[in-house]
Amino acid sequence: MIGELATWYLFLAGAGAGALLVTAVLEALTPFEVRCCEAVGPADAAVRNGFARIASRVAMPAAPRAPFPQFFGPAYGVGLIAVVVGALCLLADLGRPDRLLRLLFAPTLSFISVGVWLLMALGLCAGLLCAIWCYGASHLPRGLVAAARTGCALCAVAVMTYTGLLLASMQAVPFWHSAWLPLLFIASDISTGIGLVVAAVVLCGDGPFRTTLLRIKQWDALAIAIEAACLILLLLSAYFQGTTARESATMLLSGSVAPQFWIMVVATGLVFPFLAERLGRLGSQRMMLSVSAALLISCFFLRWCVVQVGMAPDVAAAVMVALGAG
Quote the pLDDT of residue 90: 82
Quote the pLDDT of residue 52: 47
Last residue of a domain, one of 140, 169, 198: 169
Count of Cβ atoms closer than 10 Å to residue 29 Cβ? 8
**pLDDT of 120-136, one tens digit each?**
999 999 999 999 888 87
Q: Provide the domain count of the chain.
A: 2
Quote the pLDDT of residue 134: 84
* CA max distance for the chain: 79
> Do 16 and 114 reside in the same domain of the chain?
yes
pLDDT band for 97, please (50, 70, 90 cuts).
low
Name the residue with higher pLDDT: 280 or 264: 264
Quote the pLDDT of residue 38: 61
Last residue of a domain, one of 146, 169, 192: 169
> Do 153 and 186 reside in the same domain of the chain?
no
b/e map 270-303, b = 16+ CB within 10 Å: bbbbbebbeeeebeeeeebebbbebbbbbbbbbb
Q: Which domain holds residue 206?
A: 172-326
> Do 160 and 190 reside in the same domain of the chain?
no
**pLDDT of 33-54, one tens digit each?**
766 666 555 445 444 455 444 4
Last residue of a domain, one of 169, 195, 219: 169
> Do 198 and 143 reside in the same domain of the chain?
no
